Structure 1
């Protein structure tokens, strides 16, 4: 099926350009004042956040209705946009009915935003729930066609975004070449560091037409990963933060402030720590979702292979690295407060919900590199120094059977085991872990160190960010995907060559998982297909995942 969205913002003809199987009841006018459209998110059973942005400070009116024609208005009010909040505006609309669809809009004088569609969390008995899982939307790498496809699916109830909603790099950083080719270069041109920088970057990402349509169509449950601040942060710094860029504490605070301003996210209490972005969502008696915070509040400094790899030349040195360096019990991933919150929410979930979802930014399944010394680069890439170095790096890891990444839970094996033990303590061994970050699709089965099954992991590819193996060419990338899956007990299937998202559809007795890929991100004309489909069934407190 072919999709096109080239002119829908300009002409307001969204309903004729979106997928034939879902025609939204509203179009998206090109308002000069409401330049970034509308969004909703952070739903509860009786409330939801609605959001917009104006190009200048104004007094505006907001309305929430039961119908798209706004003849049955249930909530309305007025507000003001201020430069102090970058002219963003959001309202926590309360007193709504659980499990209900609402429409909302903003106006100021003769200017009116497009209407948005949103939904509250359901209560009581629930027969079905569909969630889209998204991650890694990098503006220079292409158009957000997967967002557009999410918007086109009327079955989707909520969108869970697992982070890397923006990227911090400048125009000469990662994605520079494609940014120039597509005329989608980052703004500002430099790497973002200040509050003004982060605000401008968020605003740029919100102008993508696919993004605008997704936000206007479905409520968002967002959490961040690393690039909302800088690559690979931990509690006291980040890999992509250098001393000449000023204080890391100030930079992180700026990134968090901009995130709260620009996302449909509920503000915490006046004394709360905004970095503690963990939440819990309950979907009737069918499912719960608990999102983790794994970047700013509990993570220890990542281990860098560059400091160790050359020294791992004996069995003893390798064992020391695995057991003592990686296995250092003092290295943490999530905070004590996060653990306490998670334990309480999972304990409650086990008592009343059939499914337990975990919103997790980074891969958790054990993912080691297989021996690839028998493989060679294609002739066309053999003289490409960066690609050759990249392949040599994978070969070195494969010779030692080491994890492919150390920024993931593989780099914190003791913390992972502690997470599993916490879940086991409340009998939550039937987890569906939703994962972003890796720019690849994953269908994984999870096991604790004692061998007990812990559930499954569903990893989503990037909206536009490319997979790590893509630079090696399609044949070699495909071979590496197959070898990674066959080498690791926990990995059933992986694909690093497509962009897209994961759709999870829950019913009381089973769940269906679709790994949905878009054909390209270099044009606003694209096709979409389901690469793989799996069925998850429950057997007591354990899960079984089979290809459907």
Structure 2
């Protein structure tokens, strides 16, 4: 009798029992078309089955086999199943979401077993999710299901909620399959408008707001900027432009921000760091508030296509890293952990781990996310290779790589052709030339000048209007008209005539100022005063405050509001709007007077 039961059990398993593993996208390969880099869910299920068989052998004589206890039988009672962990779970990082399409969105959580002793590795944790069209979670869910997670993916769970309507808000919640009373906080998410939605109908005709962030170093302070955006703005989407985590340790113990572990190298290292970052209350609030759209995979400082500042694939490259890691191993570990921990879709491994992509949000805008950190990027400033400035003008030197550059040009042209009003470009580093007393940051676009010139040439030659570039990385605020550097013949920095777009570059969430750690506003403004006069395109500079900015779009205007945190050494929401800038559709420049001629921090080129 037992053998017949086991045979039936095995047949049930073989006929699709991996579905609960497969539904958790954290088990999948981070890369489209590279299934060999995914977790083998058949092997996981086989491990699970062997455990279940052992339980059957031990319990058959006294208890018998109850079909409804096995999780592949939908609608069964999980509460006392010997094959699914039922000791209670903690949703340690709430419920999060990201990469919205017009008919789906990714939902993420982490379900950690309770207790000091983790369950046998053969026993999965079962999590259910439901997504509704109302905040009360009433009525029939739009989509729902169960999925497994386990120690193999650090107990993370990522599912795609499908069959959603475009440009619609939804509410979702996770629960423990074995005890439905154990639930995560309710999250609110949304889809984007379908590509053909008329611009004036996007977001129900209301302005659409993005909150833009970069550079969150845990040991440098509390992530208050995320909290201010979540609680004090009407943000619809969060956009992150690099350095979501840092690989370094530093010293934050004095403010209660000591980083755990070591300099990141292995998947365990990256998981631990992501885990610690995501305990910050403001970051948790931001992930719950609105969908996230992120860009580059976080690996290490000064990343390029074949290395970082201290881990390059050369005969001596590994010796640079305190962790002893070569770049390739380190990058794959970082990408795997990022894929598990972030609500982001797969990338293409056959195209150098391509992550660049485009979101068509009705006829209002295209949001184009680039990878200007790692994808086919020629060598950057690694601190010890001092020749970069001398080769910054070389024509075939590329920040983007040929494939990404060609795709970017095609995307800009296609956006114009489909009559989208705005072209918003999210990327990691400052685009505008910044002459800093004769020195240039060659880790930014100033180290790839021919590549920058080709982009500007394409915008001018194709007469592509309404392009706004969003930038991070510099740990300071910069706002500029887009024009060829130092071109005072066709570009008038007073009126903005001759510009072809605008750049909004934001400061860090916490990472120390490029003007000097802890620099006060008065001292920073002295530096900014020089910079706005020396750099033709630069219209505003501010280097003291940590923070973020929002970009609000409608059919006629784009408005950027910069927010400054008064203090990041304690968790708080104490912030103020430091400056507001307007771009009128079709003008391709900052509206004059820039920022209304007055700002609450930093220095304008022309102040009233």
1:336 aligns with 2:402: yes
Residue number in structure 2 paired with 1:454: 500
User: Structure 2 matches for 1:33-432, cutoff 5 A?
Assistant: 33-56=90-113, 57-72=124-139, 73-108=141-176, 109=179, 110-123=181-194, 124-125=197-198, 126=202, 127=205, 128-153=207-232, 155-170=234-249, 173=250, 176=251, 179-188=252-261, 190-224=262-296, 228-241=298-311, 242-244=317-319, 245-268=324-347, 273=351, 275-303=353-381, 308=386, 325-351=391-417, 352-369=419-436, 398=437, 401-403=438-440, 405-432=441-468
Relative to the length of structure 2, the TM-score reads 0.73
CA 1:91–1:213 in structure 2 vs 1: closer, same or farther (change >3 Å)? same
| Offset from partner CA, 1:67-106 (integer Å, 9 cap, x none) | 1221032110010012222221111112111110001111
**Equivalent in the alignment of 1:465:** 511
Tell me how many residue pairs correspond in the alignment. 465
Q: Is the 8 A contact 2:352 2:376 kept in 1?
A: no
Corresponding position of 1:491: 538
1:301 to partner: Cα distance: 0.8
CA-based RMSD: 2.1
How far off is 1:130 after superposition?
Answer: 0.8
Matched with 2:575 is 528
Q: Render the CA deviation track for 1:131-152: whole Å, top value 9, x for unaligned.
A: 1111111111111111111111
Other-structure match for 1:513 = 560
Q: Mind listing any 5+ residue stretches in structure 1 that lack a counterpart? A: 1-30, 310-320, 370-397
Change (3 A) 1:494 1:181: same
1:325, distance to aligned residue in structure 2 (A): 2.1
Deviations for 1:440-497, whole angstroms, at most 9, x for unmatched residues? 1111111136755231110111111121213374233220022111210111111111
Secondary structure of the corresponding residue to residue 201 of structure 1:
helix
The farther-off stretch of 37-46 and 51-60 is 51-60
Tell me the SS of whatever aligns to 2:273: helix
> Greater RCO between the two (CA within 8 Å, min separation 6)?
1
For 1:68 and 1:424, the matched residues in 2 are separated by 47
Q: Give the structure-1-normalised TM-score.
A: 0.81
CA distance in 2, matches of 1:534, 1:295: 28
Q: Is contact 1:148-1:214 (8 Å) kept? A: yes
SS of equivalent residue, structure 2 residue 260: coil
| 1-structure distance, mates of 2:480, 2:524 | 19
Matched residue SS, 2:574: strand
- CA distance in structure 2 between the partners assigned to 1:473 and 1:467 by the alignment: 7
- Asked if 2 retains the 8 angstrom alpha-carbon contact of 1:40 and 1:220, the reply is yes
Over 3 Å counting, the alpha-carbon distance change for 1:114 and 1:305 in structure 2 is: closer
Counterpart Cα distance in 2 of 1:303 and 1:78: 47
Aligned partners of 2:529 and 2:308: how far apart in 1?
A: 32
**SS at 1:285 equivalent:** coil
Separation of aligned partners in 2, 1:131 and 1:296: 24
Shift of 1:308: 4.8
Q: Select the structure of larger CA radius of gyration.
A: 2
**Per-residue deviation, 1:285:** 1.3
Per the TM alignment, residue 508 of structure 1 is displaced from its structure 2 partner at its CA by 0.9
Match of 1:444 in 2: 480
Q: 1:538 to 1:250 in 2, by over 3 A?
A: same
Q: Which runs of 5+ in 2 are unaligned?
A: 1-87, 114-123, 312-316, 491-497, 597-608
From the superposition, tell whether residues 150 and 272 of structure 1 become closer, same or farther in structure 2 (CA, over 3 Å): farther
